[in-house]
Amino acid sequence: MLELYQRVVLSRNFPEHNLKQGDVVVLVDYVPHPSGGEDGYILEVFNAVGESINVVAVPMSAVQPLKNDEIFSVRSLV
């Protein structure tokens, strides 16, 4: 199970939030689905210099733990 304040990676795109598969975010809370659907995570998004730029809710299936055979990369937000 993923832990609070753990860095995790998105496994799909969220164009409505300008987030892409592979973006690294921080898990800040767990949220149950209000009507029995898939539970979710609240994620905080940071830019490359560590400034918080967004907080979003996504389904649990959209998040994966980071692996030791992966590296970070940088992309522009504009």
Q: What mean pLDDT is predicted for residues 59-77? A: 95
> Is residue 22 within 8 Å of 66, Cβ to Cβ?
no
Q: Degrees (nearest 5) of the Cα angle 42, 60, 29?
A: 25
pTM: 0.91
- pLDDT value for 11: 98
For residue 11, what are the contacts with CB-CB under 8 A and spacing of at least 6? 21, 61, 62, 63, 64
Kindly state the tokens that stand for 24. 């690294």
Q: What mean pLDDT is predicted for residues 58-62? A: 98
Share of the chain above pLDDT 70, in %: 100
Task: Read off the pLDDT of residues 35-48 as tens digits, 9 standing for 90 and up.
Answer: 999 999 999 999 99
- pLDDT value for 4: 98
Amino acid, single-letter form, for residue 20: K
